[in-house]
A and B are shown apart, each in its own frame.
Chain A
Amino acid sequence: MKTSNSMKLVFPARSVNEGFARAAVSAFVSSLDPTVEELVDLRTAVSEAVTNCIVHAYRDRDGDVCVTCRAYPERRVTVTVKDRGCGIEDVHKAMEPLFTSMPGGERSGLGFTVMENFCDRVKVRSVPGKGTCVTLEKRFKDLR
């Protein structure tokens, strides 16, 4: 489907950029005039996806995170968060609520659960050793 608008961001996988990524996505979708709840839902999901790249995909090494936002007709938006990190061996397992590859740390294992609950659709493609691409899709309610 033809996009109405799009933007692409590339930034180093450093935790200080988590807030930047959320703010940039919020600013991009704000022209669609979403409700406060819709906007915070999307911000939260983006925060989870970007944090996964920093905490899991690259662990302690350097790498870039690429965030692409696309707006489609009928107030549908997609946000793609892509890394070239370690990839996920078992995507189904990684998406199970409370699963964490870092037990003992303070990661709750709820990142994907938050994404799935706060978006209409979450698609994950991952190749071990090559990287992961998470696509978040949300349709904002019609304006009254």
Chain B
Amino acid sequence: MSVRIESTDGIMRAKLSGEIDHHLAGGMRTALDEAILREKPRALLLDFSDVSFMDSSGIGLVMGRYRLMNESGGEVEVVGASPQIRKVMHLAGLDKLARFS
């Protein structure tokens, strides 16, 4: 599991990799929240292109970050999610909250 974070011009790109389940989501959440609170980006790009598996723990991960970004009027965009990951996100209606590309 890893989270690689890069920021430019108020846009934070977080590249997640590995499998997102209950065991690993906690570490990703901490890494993301620390960076968001420190840098206060206006947009967060969650890059799922290297995520090989995700269960509903990933829904909590995206929704929680959406809430955090929303508090300061920021946006969340999900990029690179595989069809299977999109299927899980779709069940939760995440496609109505975050932008997908």
Contact = CB atoms under 8 A, between A and B. Distances in A.
Interface of A: 15-16, 18-19, 22, 37, 40-41, 43-44, 47-48, 51, 54-55, 105-108, 110-111, 113-114, 117
B29 interface: yes
Interface string B51-71: 001111101110110000000
8 contacts: A18-B23, A19-B21, A44-B53, A47-B21, A47-B53, A48-B56, A113-B91, A117-B91
Given A54-B22, A106-B29, A117-B91, A111 B84 contact: no
A51 B61 contact: no
A114 B53 contact: no
Interface residues of B, number: 21
B19 interface: yes
A119 to B, nearest CB: 13
Given A15-B23, A19-B19, A44-B84, 9 more contacts: A40-B84, A41-B84, A47-B55, A105-B60, A106-B57, A108-B92, A111-B56, A113-B56, A114-B55
